[in-house]
Amino acid sequence: MGIFEETEALVKRAKVASRAVALLSTERKNAILLRMADELEAQKDAIQKANAKDMEAGQAAGLSSAVLDRLRLDDKRIKGMADGVREIEMLPDPVGEVSDMRRRPSGIMVGRMRVPIGLVGFIYESRPNVTSDAAALCFKSGNAVVLRGGSEAIHSNLAVADVISKAAQAEGAPEGGITIIPIADREAVASMLKLDHLIDIIIPRGGAAFIKYVTETSSIPVIKHDAGVCHVYVDKKADLAMAVEIAFNSKVQRPSVCNAAETLLVHKDVAQKFLPSMVERFAKADVEMVGCDKTRSLVSGVGEATEEDWYTEYLELKISIRVVESLDEAVDHLTKYGSAHTESIVTEDYAASGRFMAAVDSSSVMVNASTRFSDGGEYGLGAEIGISTQKLHARGPMGLNEMTCQKFIVLGSGQIRK
């Protein structure tokens, strides 16, 4: 049996299981999740033994210390995985909610019922804690899941998946409801991406090149979590002290994540007053700055921004700064160079805030708040599966609801169409 056939057989079994998972009661799903969490802790030794194999192989292969660190499953991380599953257990079950139920002139009642999507394919790179996280999120929303982690974490992932799928089955989950593809060869990923008659949705997690590969290869709909080239725009009517705080927080509070700001746009009328204190603040925090000619004529310590800079997601302590003629020019800039993730305007002007909210076509549009709030937890969605940068199905931070869809239900009493 080749890699494609082996993958297909596993995915087929998962598809069959998905129908049973969809019908599990909330009580049963919660019991499954708690058992999964408990077993992760109880079987810590087996997981860490498998993890040691990956760590050794990784050291031998010369993986960077950052990658090795992400790979490591110490006691604290295993506790974190178990607690993560317990948190998901506590979230409300999205399945079965009925909304918009209305009686129609024909006499039928029509509403929408929230139901699982079916079979979710989760493809991720190194961190093995994603294995339990993804399985728990899928299960809570009534979906079966096929997991395929990075090959450098294969022993760890298999051990974690073994523990949680056995725990799930012990509590009544169907065999195959949590399936891991145990094939290290990359062809297994390519095989998954072709099974569009079995897998309903693919969620990739990893670096830009990986996401690009998945979206270009997949014939299954992909929900992608792409780059975040986020902007803060300081309007001519901004509270400038607030603007310094918001821009600083957006860039510096956690620069390595997608909702950190990469570019600061400043209205020309306030640039001279605003930029000196802003640049001083950034400089004190060792933020590298590049800017347009206008910016550089007003303040020192700012390098020259290239055209490429405006497109760049630095993910580090570096920011690009541009002075713009108007709010509309700011919107044009972020539309052209941004990734439609999160943009914030700082202004005290009512009309400007309204114009910015309407004109900016990004997944999150903010007024007087740090871009760092663009997050499922901060938005109150409970668990965050990712931040979708696409427009269809899910846009922005995704919670459990976004792992479901809605079907129409019709309750009649014998109506026929005239």
- Interacting residue ranges for a second copy, rule: CB under 8 A: 19, 22-23, 96, 102, 104, 106, 108, 110, 113, 115, 117-118, 200-201, 216, 219, 221, 239, 242, 245-246, 248-249, 253-254, 335, 344, 357-359, 361-370, 372-374, 378-380, 390-393, 395-397, 405-417
d(CA 35, CA 347): 50
Task: List Cα–Cα distances, 83 to 47, 80, 138, 382, in angstroms.
Answer: 16, 5, 16, 14
Query: Do residues 139 and 33 make contact, with C-beta atoms less than 8 angstroms apart?
Result: yes
Q: How far is the CB of 278 from a second copy (least distance, A)?
A: 14
Q: Pick between residue 315 and residue 359 the one whose CB is nearest to a second copy.
A: 359
Q: What is the 3-state secondary structure (H, E, C) of 137-179?
A: HHHHCCCEEEEECCHHHHHHHHHHHHHHHHHHHHCCCCCCCEE
Q: How far is the CB of 301 from a second copy (least distance, A)?
A: 23
Q: Pick between residue 53 and residue 103 the one whose CB is nearest to a second copy.
A: 103
Query: Do residues 297 and 238 make contact, with C-beta atoms less than 8 angstroms apart?
Result: no
Q: Pick between residue 47 and residue 145 the one whose CB is nearest to a second copy.
A: 145
Q: How far is the CB of 380 from a second copy (least distance, A)?
A: 6
Cβ neighbours around 76 below 10 Å, total = 9
Q: How far is the CB of 395 from a second copy (least distance, A)?
A: 5
385 secondary structure, DSSP code: -
Q: How far is the CB of 246 from a second copy (least distance, A)?
A: 6
User: Which secondary-structure segment (H or E) carries 7?
Assistant: helix 3-22
Q: How far is the CB of 359 from a second copy (least distance, A)?
A: 6
Q: Pick between residue 232 and residue 305 the one whose CB is nearest to a second copy.
A: 232
Q: Pick between residue 24 and residue 32 the one whose CB is nearest to a second copy.
A: 24
Cβ neighbours around 244 below 10 Å, total = 20
Q: Pick between residue 53 and residue 393 the one whose CB is nearest to a second copy.
A: 393
Query: Do residues 286 and 317 make contact, with C-beta atoms less than 8 angstroms apart?
Result: yes
